[in-house]
């Protein structure tokens, strides 16, 4: 993996970069659609490429539970299995173990848990998480970490953070796939001294990139921004900075302002399946009756396939009727919106006018023209 900073915005911490893996070039700051189980729900790989997606996220926990990493490895690795020619980042499964599975016990060795599918018992350790990701053959692998819920006590957050550091050391030792980059994950909840301590210890281990985990898990926006404003400038400037699982369009804008390079979130795809569509001036709930006779597109001027061909009235009909096409068309639009937002920010950074663009972004959101 090669990462370089091409330019910085003079009025903020925003930075324009380029990340190169064995499977292609990623222009940063970048948004990665979530393909948890080897698919971005409702879309084909060709459609993702046509949208301009350069990297997607896959998940160790889900792929390990089904269909099984050994099967994927026998079939040529995750890229070949899902017929995706571009880059893949895999999460270690830590978040899913703590949020989805029924946990039996957190111990130094790892986490013993019951599968959410059939109740079978498993141990996920730093070594097994790394081994699974190497077998999957992703371009970027995350270390196994302990995710904190919110709220959490200072004492437990401290204990958990130190365990995450020890697990990171073991993850680094177990990793021996040179073409696969490995990122460390900074933990410590909303406690800034713990976050700083975690970062310092992870830097001593030396990873190819660094991520902020356990944010947007219930804390206020103010608390999340306080962590970002403190930690992002401290993260190594020469390595990619990744904000995990975040978030709204406003979250992306603020993350870029503070120097974040990489984002992922289920929001554009999950919200599409729930009938929420993103526009430059706000969000549309397509099921609302006001769209029943609306012959206009989701957003005038949007170049996505959905807006170029279909009306709000038709999209509402599909959604109310629970037609599968509704989920596909809504997802195409929402991902186009997110990817266009990132491309617009990259251009603003290149032209050294990010702060001017950011003010215009919020002014348009505040206008709320047509958002229902």
193 noted as active-site residue: no
Closest CA to 11 of 362, 355, 357, 360: 355
Catalytic residue, from 9, 91, 145, 251: name it: 91
**Domains of the chain, first to last:** 2-264 (3.20.20.105), 272-367 (no CATH)
Is this structure's pTM higher than 0.95?
A: yes
Q: What is the pLDDT of residue 370?
A: 52
- State pLDDT tens for residues 7-34: 999 999 999 999 999 999 999 999 999 9
Q: What are phi and psi of 16, to 5 degrees?
A: -110, 120
Q: What is the pLDDT of residue 232?
A: 98
- State pLDDT tens for residues 37-95: 999 999 999 999 999 999 999 999 999 999 999 999 999 999 999 999 999 999 998 88
Q: ∠367-368-370 over CA atoms, to 5°?
A: 130
Mean predicted confidence (pLDDT) in 340-344 = 98
Neighbours of 327 (CB within 10 A): 20
- State pLDDT tens for residues 109-130: 999 988 888 989 999 999 999 9
Catalytic residue, from 139, 145, 264, 294: name it: 264
Q: What is the pLDDT of residue 281?
A: 94
- State pLDDT tens for residues 135-146: 999 999 999 999
């Amino acid at each position: 993996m090669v990462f370089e900073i091409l330019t910085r915005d003079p009025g903020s911490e925003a930075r324009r970069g380029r990340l190169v893996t064995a499977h292609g070039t990623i222009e940063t700051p970048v948004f990665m659609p979530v393909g948890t189980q080897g698919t971005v729900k409702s879309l084909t790989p060709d459609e993702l490429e046509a949208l301009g997606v350069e990297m997607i996220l896959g998940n160790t926990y889900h792929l390990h539970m089904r269909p099984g990493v050994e099967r994927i490895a026998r079939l040529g690795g995750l890229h070949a299995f899902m017929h995706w020619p571009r880059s893949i980042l895999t999460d270690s499964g830590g978040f899913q173990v703590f949020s989805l599975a029924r946990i039996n016990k957190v111990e130094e060795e790892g986490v013993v848990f019951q599968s959410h599918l059939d109740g079978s018992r498993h141990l996920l350790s730093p070594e097994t998480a790394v081994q699974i990701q190497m077998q999957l053959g992703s371009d970027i692998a995350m270390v196994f970490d302990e995710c904190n819920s919110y709220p959490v006590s200072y004492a437990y957050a401290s204990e958990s953070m130190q365990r995450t550091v020890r697990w990171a050391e073991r993850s680094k030792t177990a990793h021996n796939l040179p073409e696969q980059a490995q990122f460390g994950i900074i933990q410590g909840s909303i406690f800034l001294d713990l976050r700083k301590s975690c970062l310092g210890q992870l830097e001593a281990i030396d990873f190819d990139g660094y991520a902020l985990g356990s944010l947007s898990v219930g804390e206020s926006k103010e608390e999340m921004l306080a962590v970002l404003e403190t930690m992002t400038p401290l993260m190594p400037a020469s390595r990619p900075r990744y904000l995990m699982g975040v978030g709204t369009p406003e979250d992306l804008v603020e993350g870029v302002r503070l120097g974040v390079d990489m984002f992922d979130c289920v929001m554009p795809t999950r919200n599409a399946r729930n009938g929420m569509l993103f526009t430059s001036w706000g969000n549309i709930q397509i099921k609302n009756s006001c769209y029943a006779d609306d012959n206009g597109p989701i957003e005038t001027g949007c170049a996505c396939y959905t807006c170029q061909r279909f009306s709000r009235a038709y999209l509402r009909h599909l959604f109310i009727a629970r037609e599968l096409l509704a989920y596909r068309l809504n997802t195409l639009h929402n991902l186009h919106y997110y990817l266009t937002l990132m491309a617009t920010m990259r251009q603003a950074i290149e032209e050294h006018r990010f702060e001017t663009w950011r003010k215009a972004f919020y002014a348009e959101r505040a206008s709320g023209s047509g958002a229902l």
